Amino acid sequence: MSAHGAIAVTASAYLVVCGVAPADGTLAAAPAGPGVGAPSATQEPLSGYLGAETCLICHEGIGTSYYDSKHARAFDPRTPAAAEDCETCHGPGEGHILDPGDATGIKKFNTMAPRDVAETCRTCHNRQEYAMWESGPHASRNVTCTNCHSIHQPNSETRQLVETTVTETCAQCHRDKAMKIQRVSHMPVLEGKLECSTCHNPHGSTNERLLRTGNTVNEFCVSCHAEKRGPFLWEHPPVVESCTTCHDPHGASNDRLLVAKPPMLCQRCHVHSRHPATIYDATQAENRQIQIIGRGCVNCHSNIHGSNHPSGWVFQR
């Protein structure tokens, strides 16, 4: 039997139970009024909700994925299963079952406006890390819940993501960051110790760049790298400004996530000092000095993030 045939059979049975049609299967003329018609005094009013069993007559495969998810936990009062199952999110299906060709009353999340999709999901997901969704950059750019999550066809073991991992899901848009993670110096994302959502809250944040903690990049970085926190007696201005001045947190081709290789990294600011900026600006004796230190400024200036030594203004101590 086709899907429409199954719906037609169910519709006929439903009308008989509700008293709209006689048991012999012949439909009486519908009384005036919207929809099927106003019920008689002896009829029960049509609620509009048919239950998941009716939906699963045609949508059997979708029901399997639904009942394997957290949304099907009927013991949790905040889940769809504790309310109207499928119709909690998709709306009452009475109109659709009575007229199988009319699905205008059913919410189709793949065709709805992004804001409408988010509003439906946020009827439940509106607390904790989801509370700031409306103020986040994803919402303002028409990115919605179903761009990252799939209720009926997830590919991940957790979080019902459209891809197998958080990183692959984020890479759908943030491809430049995903490629940086592949570089030789990277955060341990490939090793499974971190993921994008470890540092960023994709559902919204009051912090810069959707960071989970701190009001600035520096405050977030020192939440793990506490030894770089300070305060220091001698502060290094680029460090105070932002860690990303020298480091790329997503990955780099240089050691320690540096955006450039020393001494070129340092020479972006220190164009010339007591050390020549290039070998062409130096005497033969100064050239030998450059070769001795291996052209790596941090060989001598080891406390480059800041120094607490009274003589540490050059960050050697």
**Band of residue 257 on the pLDDT scale cut at 50, 70, 90:** very high
What pLDDT sits at residue 251? Answer: 95
Strand partners, 200: 211
Q: Which of 174, 195, 210 is the last residue of a domain?
A: 210
Q: How far is CA 37 from the centre of its chain?
A: 45
Shared domain for 225 and 206, answered yes or no, is: no
pLDDT tens-place string over residues 194-239: 999 999 999 999 888 999 988 899 999 999 999 999 899 999 999 9
Shared domain for 121 and 185, answered yes or no, is: yes
Shared domain for 87 and 152, answered yes or no, is: no
| Better-scored residue on pLDDT, 288 or 18 | 288
**pLDDT tops 60 at residue 10:** no
Structural domains counted in the chain: 3
Structural domain for 232, as ranges:
217-314
pTM: 0.76
**Band of residue 11 on the pLDDT scale cut at 50, 70, 90:** very low
- What is the overall mean pLDDT for the chain? 81
| Average pLDDT over every residue of 169-178 | 95
Beta strands in the chain (DSSP E): 234-235, 306-307
Shared domain for 233 and 183, answered yes or no, is: no
Shared domain for 223 and 205, answered yes or no, is: no
Shared domain for 192 and 251, answered yes or no, is: no
Domain membership of residue 278 (yes or no) is yes
Question: Could you give the residue ranges of the DSSP H alpha helices within the chain?
Answer: 3-18, 52-55, 60-67, 86-90, 94-98, 114-121, 137-140, 145-148, 166-170, 175-180, 196-199, 217-221, 237-241, 264-267, 284-292
**pLDDT tops 70 at residue 125:** yes
* Under 8 Å between Cβ of 81 and 75: no
Shared domain for 83 and 129, answered yes or no, is: no
Q: Which of 175, 193, 210 is the last residue of a domain?
A: 210
Cα torsion 238, 243, 249, 252 to 10°: value is 20
Q: Choose among 43, 37, 41: nearest CA to 17.
A: 43
pLDDT tens-place string over residues 53-82: 888 888 887 877 888 888 989 888 889 989
pLDDT tens-place string over residues 269-289: 887 666 766 666 666 565 555
**pLDDT tops 90 at residue 175:** yes
Shared domain for 189 and 159, answered yes or no, is: yes
Domain membership of residue 103 (yes or no) is no
**pLDDT tops 70 at residue 9:** no
pLDDT tens-place string over residues 72-117: 898 888 899 898 889 999 999 888 888 877 777 789 998 899 999 9
Shared domain for 86 and 126, answered yes or no, is: no
Q: Which of 210, 227, 258 is the last residue of a domain?
A: 210
Domain membership of residue 104 (yes or no) is no
What pLDDT sits at residue 230? Answer: 87
